[in-house]
């Protein structure tokens, strides 16, 4: 039996009620946001840990009052996945009651930083410097929720097929209420202030395609917005980034630089084409962009 696939996951976590009120900033510091943030963190951690997978599981045989082992799963994919989860916090600004629920299943790293905004970059640096990396290393903001049990399989397939030449980013989405069941994909095109020409997601060019293990064809684009609050790298890519200049070039702000600037300095970033957006997605568990529905005019479908 082959050894399980190891995925190392690093998540920076910060919460201080009201810390970002004056700037209208991130949900981690929005006043009155403790409960939504707690739910998002719990879902983030719980769903990451649910990616653990074994070739065989246990059945509670009530009739015989014994534990009975299942056959080996014959579904195509990675036979086993082991999650190595690391959570980085700063001082006392974290949701301790939520983290304690998962304490036996993660490693907690308590950092003392004069500027908490540097926590994401510090977590990335720690990720790159860790010994014995997994086959893949995943960086994830603390309000992002993985809802796909094949998430690791898809990443492994992509990096094998592309021989570690690219980084694949997911699409980040927020479930809507007034427009349910439609989703709001929040990382649409961005452009430099000096660019006058319109920029539309429908203009992103397909740069590659492939057939996933289940037979579905997936096309990939070089996105107009590479950000998703997360990145995944192979062991070979981690080795390259480990010796790259540090800190990475600024991308928007410290949070975005950690999640996106880290990989942009060395690797082209791809995302699934919009018509294949469901191939790799993350839910933004603490929505911040739904108000845009009432602020922006709507354009016809792609």
Rounded distance, CA 12 to CA 14, Å? 7
Domains and CATH numbers, the chain: 5-54+70-294 (3.90.550)
Give the per-residue pLDDT at 297: 87
Instruction: Write the DSSP string, 36-103.
Output: HHHHHHHHHHHHHHTT-B-SS-EEEETTTTEEEEPPPP-SSS-S-EEEEEEEEEETT-S-HHHHHHTG
| Tokens 């739910």 belong to residue | 39
Closest C-alpha to 231, from 109, 107, 144, 108: 144
199 pLDDT tier (thresholds 50, 70, 90):
confident
How far is it, in rounded angstroms, from Cα 187 to Cα 98?
28
Task: Say whether the peptide bond before residue 42 is cis (omega within 30 degrees of 0).
Answer: no
The pLDDT assigned to 20 comes to 55
Q: Are 104 and 81 in contact (CB under 8 A)?
A: no
Confidence of residue 302 (pLDDT cuts 50, 70, 90): low
pLDDT 10s digits, 40-94: 999 999 999 999 999 999 999 999 999 999 999 888 889 899 999 999 999 999 9
Helix and strand totals (H; E) in the chain = 7, 15
The answer, yes or no, to whether the previous bond of 100 is cis (omega within 30 of 0) is: no
pLDDT of 158 higher than 70: yes
Q: CA-CA distance, 231 to 104, in Å (whole number)?
A: 25
Confidence tier at 23 by pLDDT (50, 70, 90): very low
N residues, the chain: 302
> Between 130 and 31, whose confidence is greater?
130
Instruction: Taking residues 149-176, report their average pLDDT.
Output: 96
The values of phi and psi at residue 298, to 5°, are -105, 140
Mean per-residue pLDDT, 230-245: 96
pLDDT higher for 90 or 299? 90
Q: Does residue 276 have a pLDDT over 50?
A: yes
Q: What is the mean pLDDT of residues 123-141?
A: 93
At residue 256, the pLDDT reads 96
């Amino acid at each position: 039996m082959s050894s399980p696939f190891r995925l190392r996951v690093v998540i920076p976590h910060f919460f201080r009620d009201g810390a970002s009120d004056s700037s209208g900033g991130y949900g981690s510091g929005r006043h009155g946001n403790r409960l939504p943030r707690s739910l998002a963190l719990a879902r983030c951690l719980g769903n990451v840990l649910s990616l653990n997978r074994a070739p065989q599981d246990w059945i509670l045989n009530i009739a015989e009052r014994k534990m009975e082992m299942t056959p080996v799963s014959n579904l195509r994919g990675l036979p086993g996945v082991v999650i190595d989860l690391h959570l980085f916090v700063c001082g006392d600004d974290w949701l301790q009651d939520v983290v304690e629920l998962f304490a036996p299943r993660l490693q907690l790293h308590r950092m003392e930083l004069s500027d908490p905004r540097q926590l994401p970059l510090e977590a990335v640096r720690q990720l790159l410097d860790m010994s014995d990396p997994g086959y893949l290393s995943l960086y994830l903001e603390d309000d992002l929720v993985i809802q796909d049990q094949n998430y690791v399989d898809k990443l492994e397939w992509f990096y094998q097929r592309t021989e570690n030449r690219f980084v694949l980013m997911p699409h980040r989405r927020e479930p809507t209420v007034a427009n349910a069941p439609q989703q709001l994909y929040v990382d649409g095109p961005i452009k430099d202030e000096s660019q006058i020409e319109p920029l539309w997601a429908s203009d992103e060019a397909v740069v590659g395609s492939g057939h996933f293990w289940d037979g579905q064809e997936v096309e990939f684009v070089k996105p107009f917005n590479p950000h998703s609050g997360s990145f995944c790298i192979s062991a070979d890519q981690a080795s390259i980034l480990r010796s790259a200049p540090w800190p990475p070039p600024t991308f928007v702000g410290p949070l975005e630089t950690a999640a996106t600037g880290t990989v942009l300095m060395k690797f082209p970033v791809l995302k699934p084409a919009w018509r294949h957006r469901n191939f790799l997605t993350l839910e933004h568990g603490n929505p911040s962009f739904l108000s845009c529905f009432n602020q922006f005019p709507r354009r016809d479908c792609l």
